[in-house]
Each structure stands twice: as structure tokens, then as C-alpha cells.
Structure 1
């Protein structure tokens, strides 16, 4: 059945090249994940704040390597784009930023992130989110990016506000966390023009 619209991002656009490494403000780097990041992922996921706001935990390096392999396949399949947020040398894991739930035909994705405890309060997350947002909207051809977070997570709300994601509303009881159902803020950025 023929489509009445043209895909915003034609299939094969992302995976026609390797996933880019994106420099951020001179001291950060967003790079594709490596299996060697597994131990650092396990350490980050021992943090109570990470466990509170996320739906899974990493109990072993093997499990973290499986996640990393899934994250890497997302680029190949054009379903997600995951980056490790690292120091400029590329060795110290500071966080993660990702575009997931990618819809190529509509040029849409959801942005997600976390920050390692050692990097919190230093602007690492907001700079990483801003960089991926710029790449997605200005270079990769995305039309709309959504950012969702629990209404009980003011730190995530500050990231959304700092990076220009407008609050569009509240999705009531939209996500089940370990402590019960959470209302979720829905923020979005749309490519202008």
C-alpha cells in the first residue's frame, strides 16, 4: 500500500555511516558504547538514585555487555542512537544520552539520559542532551524529540528546561516504577522551519 507522505528520514540514512562521535564544549565527548564500558555501567547502576528512576538494574558485567550490544544494534537497525558521555580522553564514564523509539518515517524519537554520581551538578547532562538535540534536529533530520520524566524528578525537569524542551503536559500514571505508578511530564523540541 503506497504511503501518502514521504519519510522525514529515509530508511538507511543513519546506518549508511558509522555512528558519529560528538564533541561537547571542549571537555566532554559523546561516543558510541564499547563492551569495555560494562564495568563502569555496573558501578553506575549501583547508585540508589539511578535505581530509583530507572526500570532495570545491572547486576553483572555480562548483563551490562548485553545492554551495550543492544545499544550498539540500535544504530544498525535505525531504532535508537545511544552514546556514552565521557571525559575528553574517553576513559571516564560520566553518563549516557540516547534517542530511542525512533520513528524514521515521522522523524521522531524520545531522548533519555542518566548521569554518573561523580558527574552530577556540573552541567554534564544538560550539555550532552543539548548536543544530541542539536545533532538530531540540525544534522540528522529529525523533526520532533520528546523527553519524558517522572513529575517527582525535578532534576530531570531542570534538564528539559535548560535544553529548550517545552512542557506539553502530564501523562497521568503513565509509567510503573519500583515504588508504584508515576505521572510523567512530556516535554518536546520541534525542528523549526
Structure 2
């Protein structure tokens, strides 16, 4: 069936080019594409019970993490997702992850996902990296970028607000966590035209 609209982002826009490395405005953090050598860092990150609780998954081995890293790289080529390892620019030390998930080029929408390593929390890593990634996404043609988090996850609410994502509303009982159904806050940034 033919579309009656032009896609917000032309197919092939991302897959034809290498995934870029992004920098935060202060230059202290870099968001770089995942590489196979990141599997050990990803596996270690997922041993954190806080990360597992809010992200609903475990990573049981370095081999499983390697498969995940490869799937992330494939998502860029399929134009369905873009994920970056957040590192300290000075020495490349891993600090977290930023992601655009559920990328829809026709509609020009994506959903944010992220985590920060335990020893990097409270240092402003997430809001700075989220701002850099979102600015790139909006400049690349996305019209709307959604960020959802459990209403019980107050740190994620603060990250959203610091990164310029105003609260749009609450989706009631919309995400299943280990302790049951959670209401989810919906924050959004929209491309200004």
C-alpha cells in the first residue's frame, strides 16, 4: 500500500554511513558506537542489581554480552536502533549506555533507553549524554523522542528534566517489573520547526 506522506527520515539515511561518535557540550564525555571488545564491560554492567531491576534483564556471560553487542551493531544497519557506549573522553573509561530504540523512520520517532554504571551515578553523566544524543537525533530528522520510566524511578525523572524532556503524562500500569505493574511517566522532546 503506498504511503500518502513522505517518510520523516529517508530510508538509508543511517545505514549508508558509519554510526557517529557524539560528544557532550562540555567535551568531557563521548558517546561512541559499541565494538566487539565492549562485551566484558557490558557483562559487568549487567551484574548490578539496580540496573537489572529497572532494565528487566540479566546478562549471564561475556558470550551473551558479545551477542548483544553484535545485535546493537546490526540494529544500526537495519535502521531500527542506535546505541552508544558512554565513555570518559579523557581515557575512554566506560560510564554507561545511551540508546534510541524502536526507531521509526516513517514517523520520525524513537524511544530513549539508557543506563549508567554504579560508580558513575550522581556525576551528571546521564543528562549530559542524553542531551547530546537527543540533539543529534533531532538534527538527524527525528520529530519526536520519547523517554519513559517507572514513576518509582525518581533518578530517571530528574535525568529527563535536566535533559530538557518535559513530562507529558502518565501511562497507567503499562510496564511489568519484577515486583508487578508500574505506572510510567512519559517525557518527550519534539523537534522545533
Q: Classify the TM-score, shorter chain.
A: over 0.9
Q: Runs (4+) of structure 1 moved beyond 6 Å?
A: none
Shift in CA distance, 16/90, structure 1 to aligned 2, threshold 3 Å:
farther
> Does the Cα contact within 8 Å between 1:29 and 1:90 map onto a contact in 2?
no
CA distance in structure 2 between the aligned counterparts of 1:157 and 1:7, rounded to whole angstroms: 31
* 1:100 aligned onto 2:124: no
Structure 1 residue matching 2:188: 3-state secondary structure: strand
Within a 5 Å distance, the mapping from 1:149-188 to structure 2 comes to 149-188=149-188
Bigger Cα displacement from structure 2, 102-111 vs 20-29: 20-29
**How far does residue 55 in structure 1 lie from its aligned partner after superposition?**
1.2
CA distance in structure 1 between the aligned counterparts of 2:91 and 2:191, rounded to whole angstroms: 30
**How far does residue 124 in structure 1 lie from its aligned partner after superposition?**
0.6
Within a 5 Å distance, the mapping from 1:3-18 to structure 2 comes to 3-18=3-18
Q: Aligned residues, how many?
A: 192
**How far does residue 8 in structure 1 lie from its aligned partner after superposition?**
0.5
TM-score by length of 1: 0.97
CA distance in structure 2 between the aligned counterparts of 1:192 and 1:89, rounded to whole angstroms: 33
CA distance in structure 2 between the aligned counterparts of 1:90 and 1:179, rounded to whole angstroms: 38
CA distance in structure 2 between the aligned counterparts of 1:44 and 1:94, rounded to whole angstroms: 9
**How far does residue 89 in structure 1 lie from its aligned partner after superposition?**
4.4
CA distance in structure 2 between the aligned counterparts of 1:168 and 1:23, rounded to whole angstroms: 27
Instruction: Find the counterpart in structure 2 of residue 145 from structure 1.
Output: 145
**How far does residue 91 in structure 1 lie from its aligned partner after superposition?**
3.2
Task: List per-residue Cα deviations over 1:106-147 (Å, max 9, x = no partner).
Answer: 110001110001110001111000000000112x11100000
Runs of at least 5 residues in structure 1 that lack an aligned partner in the other structure:
none
Instruction: Find the counterpart in structure 2 of residue 41 from structure 1.
Output: 42
Bigger Cα displacement from structure 2, 103-112 vs 88-97: 88-97
Q: CA RMSD in A?
A: 1.0
> Does the Cα contact within 8 Å between 1:111 and 1:146 map onto a contact in 2?
yes
Instruction: Find the counterpart in structure 2 of residue 118 from structure 1.
Output: 119
TM-score by length of 2: 0.97
